[in-house]
Amino acid sequence: MNLSLLAESSIQEKIFWLFCLAVLIQLYYYLFCFGRLTLLKKSKIESFTPPASIIVCARNEEENIALFLPSVLEQDYPSFEVVVVNDCSSDNTGYVLKQLADKYSNLKIVTINETQNHEHGKKVAVMMGIKGASNEYLLFTDADCKPNSKDWLTNMTGRFINKETEIVLGYGGYEKQRGFLNKMIRFDTFFIALQYLSFALAGKTYMGVGRNLAYKKSLFFKMKGFASHYHIQSGDDDLFINEAATKQNSTIEINVDSHTLSRVKKTFMGWFAQKRRHIITFKHYNTKSKWRLRILGFSQYLFFALFITLLIFQYEPKLVMTLFLSRLFVQIVIFMRPMKLLNEKDLIIVFPIIEIVLLLVYPALSVSNFILKKVNWR
């Protein structure tokens, strides 16, 4: 009996030290990686306004085009064009665009007609938009997005004042609405942004989001476009950046006027389908990027699993709870300023609950991509 108790105590002790390791890994990521965004000094708008092209891809987006495109076309900027790719729309997107073209001289329409024997993804539309663009500096957003201000374009292109800069990563948030689902979607978006923006500050850029992204046209052709991952349905934004970004050529822009806002999904299944498209590209990231993110995610799951296990065993409950609360305290400290900078500060109250919910959702997303048919872009 004594041997049995001794063995059980030894197992619990090993679990405890493994829990301590998970805590240390988590604290490393929060303090030394994400802390870069927390300590980031407020930047000023640089006076650099070269001719620019904004590219928007649209498929069956008549309502969103009518609502949001005018705010893109009316940017306070010396010289720019808006290239909208009407990709095989079967609704009135083309008609709405023609009406807007009569009003705005800086709108350029590129139309892709549907062919019976050929099905293509968003990358074709993006390529057509880039080829149709007249300028070197390209800014990308989606049809269901609107700029946070008339200085969105000025803020984003201002980061190209450094001649080495070829990529500018922006923040694409979602509309604030009532309900837990809205907060969950927004926190998920915030936490992903915290990761890619922080790693970019560390010279380890691995992705950007097509809702708010800028890069040079010459970089696109230097990388031969999407040639290396054209066969992959998604990845016109993150896979391209993962391949093209270097320590020297990437920067970020997060002033509130540089944000974009997107329409948020109103149902869990709508968001779930959207997330399935987003996460499918992860396995195609470069090796270093995958390992950084895998260690972060694994340590997060390990932390909660071992915390619950130690509580069940009642092993050093005060010490275990102290470590748990220490991590939570660090999270709050690290999250507060980035949430303020990204206009998501209301999430600080509910994020601990949302974090746990997302840890349950993400495995379901991964499994669904194995057993369900692929989700095409809309």
Residue 49's contacts (CB-CB under 8 Å, 6 or more residues apart) are: 77, 78, 79, 154, 157, 158
- pLDDT at residue 116, rounded to an integer: 47
Angle between helices 62-73 and 93-103 (to 10 degrees): 20
Q: What SS3 class is residue 349?
A: coil
Instruction: Give me 221's structure tokens.
Output: 């052709």
This prediction's pTM: 0.93
Give phi and psi for 58, each to the nearest 5: -135, 130
The CATH 3.90.550.10 portion of the chain extends over 52-265
Phi/psi at 324 (5° precision):
-60, -50
Nearest to 159 by CA among 171, 148, 146: 171
Instruction: Read off the DSSP letter of residue 115.
Output: B
In tens, the pLDDT along 12-23 reads 899 999 999 999
> To the nearest whole number, what is the mean pLDDT of the chain?
93
Distance, in Å, from the CA atom of 351 to the CA atom of 115, rounded to the nearest integer, reads 46
Confidence of residue 1 (pLDDT cuts 50, 70, 90): very low
Which residues on neighbouring strands pair with residue 147, listed in sequence order? 260
Angstrom distance (rounded) from CA 148 to CA 159 = 17
Please give the CATH topology (third level) of the domain spanning 52-265: Spore Coat Polysaccharide Biosynthesis Protein SpsA; Chain A (3.90.550)
Q: Find the mean pLDDT for residues 93-116.
A: 91
Given pLDDT bands bounded at 50, 70 and 90, which one contains residue 285? very high
- Cα radius of gyration (the chain): 23
The DSSP element (H or E) to which 260 belongs, if any, is strand 260-262
Give yes or no for residue 115 having a pLDDT over 80.
no
Looking at residue 156, its pLDDT comes to 97
pLDDT of 296-308, one tens digit each?
999 999 999 999 9
| pLDDT tens, residue by residue, 10-68 | 888 999 999 999 999 999 999 999 999 999 988 777 789 999 999 999 999 999 999 99
* pLDDT of 376: 56
Q: Helix/strand/coil (H, E, C) string of 301-369?
A: HHHHHHHHHHHHHCCCHHHHHHHHHHHHHHHHHHHHHHHHHCCCHHHHCCHHHHHHHHHHHHHHHHHHH
Q: Given pLDDT bands bounded at 50, 70 and 90, which one contains residue 4?
A: low
pLDDT in tens, 312-366: 999 999 999 999 999 999 999 999 999 999 999 999 999 999 999 999 999 998 8
Average pLDDT for 207-222: 97
Angle 81-84-86 (CA atoms, 0-180°, nearest 5)? Answer: 160
